[in-house]
Amino acid sequence: MSLRPTNPVPADDRPFFSASQAAKASSPSREEIIEAFKNWLITLPEAEKERPILSSDGTSYSPQMLLHAIEVDDQFGQLLVKALQRFYDFSNQE
């Protein structure tokens, strides 16, 4: 199973995780990732919340669908959490 963006959107300068999370040495927990997704969704225009941004195995996911997968802790949600934790760890290496 691979993850890839369907319609990359320009990155902005806002961090996905809060400053307190960024200061932690460990990977964010599933609960912290859920909180970060919720905070991110608040900032998106309504149309963007349902627009597919990620595709995996032929299925496209919107930001709200990604949050739902993480919240219900299904197989895809677990994969997404692990991928985000690995990305976080990689991006915070010194």
Q: What is the pLDDT of residues 56-90, one digit of tens each?
A: 889 999 999 999 999 999 999 999 999 999 998 88
Confirm whether pTM is higher than 0.85: no
Length of the chain: 94
Note the pLDDT of residue 83.
93
Count of Cβ atoms closer than 10 Å to residue 34 Cβ: 17
DSSP string, 35-61: HHHHHHHHHS-HHHHSS--EEETTEEE
Q: Which amino acid would we find at residue 86?
A: R
3-state secondary structure of 19: helix
Does 70 or 9 have the greater pLDDT score? 70
List the beta bridge partners of residue 56.
Answer: 59
Note the pLDDT of residue 93.
77
Does 3 or 65 have the greater pLDDT score? 65
Q: Name the residue ranges covered by the structural domains of the chain.
A: 27-91
Both structure tokens of 73: 């802790």
